[in-house]
Amino acid sequence: MKRLARKRLKSFSVDRLLRHALRHWHAQEGWRAVEVLQRRGSPALLARIETLSDSPRVRRRAVGMSIAAQLMRREHGRDVLFAEQQTQQLLLRGLSDPHHDVVRAAVAGLGQRPHGASVQGLLRLSTHADSKMRWQVAVALGSYEEPEAIEGLIRLASDTSAEVRDWATFGLGTLRDDDTPEIREALRLNLRDSDEDVRGEALVGLARRGDHDIVDVLITQLTPECHLYELDAAEALADPRLVEPLQALSRSAPPSWTAIWQTHLDEALAACSNQSVPVGTERSSAS
């Protein structure tokens, strides 16, 4: 049904798609119309988006921002960014909109096409009362290289919302390669989080930074009930002390494991089997 709906929408004119998006805003039909429009970047559509974004009506402004967020056009068989600078400026203005629907759409867009001038505005929104807004900010900040973005992600990694903590921890641990004491401390704190996804993202983030102090944690968690997080962390850490628990896991893997799980397990085992013991981490026979 979804494929049929998208196919039908692709035959619509820009005018009809815009009417559809506005009529069905906040519904799947509306979002599908927006997605089709996002692939039709042109000067004419850009002008329509700018008009929508200046409208006194909230829904029109939000739809305009949402289309601008990922405006593309087809070139040589692939989608490429269209009017990046113009849409960035439009999205920057959206951060100051009085209605949160418009602001959220602008934040989402600035995560897709980052602009350094938006960092301070995003950081202000990182303390917004609406957890959905904070989540959107956490997603967006993961695309920014500015040091202030790291500070924002660290703060959001201890948010009251598990979904916000999850994405902020992913942004710190996986989307970024920065390795600072502050980042490691935030990741270590989230190893004890109440949410399993937050714990998993923290584990992967520390493994990617070569933190061999997490080996004992991994050894206890590499069981048939483990998640892909543990396998990915083992592969990233590539510590030979994990070979034995990974081999045991391979022997006891439940029939329900898919080929994807087996592939992750095989890759983790290969990575750990090809490494020597890190200096200073050898375990005595008494340990």
Round to whole Å and give the CA distance between 198 and 66. Answer: 28
Other Cβ atoms within 10 Å of 11 Cβ, number:
9
Domains of the chain, each with CATH number or no CATH = 1-72+80-109 (1.25.10.10), 120-209 (1.25.10.10), 215-276 (no CATH)
Q: Which two tokens stand for residue 161?
A: 């919302």
Model pTM score: 0.88
What does the pLDDT look like over 245-268, one tens digit per residue? 999 999 988 887 889 999 999 999
Answer yes or no: are the C-beta atoms of 173 and 206 closer than 8 Å: yes
Biggest CA-to-CA distance, the chain:
74
Q: What does the pLDDT average to over 21-30?
A: 92
Residue 113 has pLDDT above 50, yes or no: yes
What does the pLDDT look like over 135-165, one tens digit per residue? 999 999 999 999 999 999 999 999 999 999 9
Q: Given this model, what pLDDT does residue 204 score?
A: 98
Round to whole Å and give the CA distance between 32 and 5. Answer: 8
